């Protein structure tokens, strides 16, 4: 067992975890933050993307023990005062989701993209979302949603 102290969505959290607990496991099973989804569980599908110290990573492939002292933002941490984040709003408006399983990861990844590039082209959005797999939408409306968010942010 390892004791770790991290910050999740602005709240300080101190937990005793098993050595092999992943960040996705800590978020979902211990902190009950089930917005972060686990798809492939081997860092290919991107459903589990969260931000650690401001950068998007796949939480299924990061050990929680190794993130002691980090700041984590999950999909639950995007909305503020009951108001959706512009990226969430844009996914809703542009029908950037269907079943919604990949959406938390898509949104977290797309938010990181706009941090690095304010007005990405279609190709840049598609390249950035390379590690996020969606089996419903065909991606077209996801790209449209990211562009819509970029125009609002």
Partner 1 sequence: MKTFNYHSAKDVKEASKLASSNSAFLAGGMTTIPSMKLGLASYKDIIDIKRIKKLTGIKVSGKTVTIGATTKHSEVASSKDVKKAIPSLAALAEGIGDPQVRNRGTIGGSIANNDPAADYPSACIALNATIHTNNRSIDAEKFFRGMFETCLKSTEVIETIEFSIPEKSSYQKLPNPASRYAIIGVYVAKHKTGINVGVTGAKSCVYNDKDLAGALTKNFSSSAIDSVKISSSGMNSDIHASSDYRANMVKAFTKKAVDAC
Separation in Å, CA 111 to CA 17, 39, 42: 29, 20, 22
Residue 16 is a binding residue for partner 1 (CB under 8 A): no
Among 90, 97, 112, 120, binds partner 1 (CB under 8 A): 112
- Rounded (5°) CA angle 78-79-81: 140
* Radius of gyration of the chain from its Cα atoms, rounded to whole angstroms: 15
Among 6, 27, 31, 58, binds partner 1 (CB under 8 A): 58
Among 15, 30, 41, 98, binds partner 1 (CB under 8 A): 41
Cα gap 97→33, rounded to integer Å:
20
Cα gap 58→62, rounded to integer Å:
7
Residue 148 is a binding residue for partner 1 (CB under 8 A): no
Residue 122 is a binding residue for partner 1 (CB under 8 A): no
Q: Which stretch binds partner 1 (CB under 8 A): 58-66, 96-104, 117-125, 140-148?
A: 58-66
Residue 22 is a binding residue for partner 1 (CB under 8 A): yes
Q: Are 42 and 131 in contact (CB under 8 A)?
A: no
Residue 71 is a binding residue for partner 1 (CB under 8 A): no
> Got the DSSP string for 5-64?
EEEETTEEEEEEE-TT-BHHHIIIIIS--TTS--SSSSSSS-TTEEEETTEEEEGGGSBG
Residue 44 is a binding residue for partner 1 (CB under 8 A): yes
Nearer residue to partner 1 within complex by CB, 61 or 93: 61
Name the site residues for partner 1 (rule: CB under 8 A).
Answer: 2, 18-20, 22, 41-44, 46, 49, 55-58, 61-63, 65-66, 68, 109, 112-113, 128, 130-132
């Amino acid at each position: 067992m390892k004791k770790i102290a991290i910050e999740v969505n602005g709240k300080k959290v101190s937990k005793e975890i098993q050595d092999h607990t992943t960040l996705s496991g800590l978020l979902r099973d211990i902190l009950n933050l089930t917005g972060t989804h686990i798809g492939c569980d081997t860092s290919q599908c991107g459903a589990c993307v969260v931000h650690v110290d401001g950068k998007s990573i796949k939480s299924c492939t990061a050990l929680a023990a190794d993130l002691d002292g980090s700041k984590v933002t999950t999909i639950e941490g995007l909305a503020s005062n009951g108001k959706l984040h512009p990226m969430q709003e844009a996914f809703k408006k542009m029908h950037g989701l269907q079943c919604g399983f990949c959406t938390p990861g898509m949104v977290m990844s797309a938010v990181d993209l706009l941090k690095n590039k304010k007005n990405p082209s279609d190709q840049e959005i598609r390249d950035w979302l390379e590690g996020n797999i969606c089996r419903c939408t065909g991606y077209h409306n996801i790209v449209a949603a990211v562009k819509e968010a970029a125009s609002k942010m």
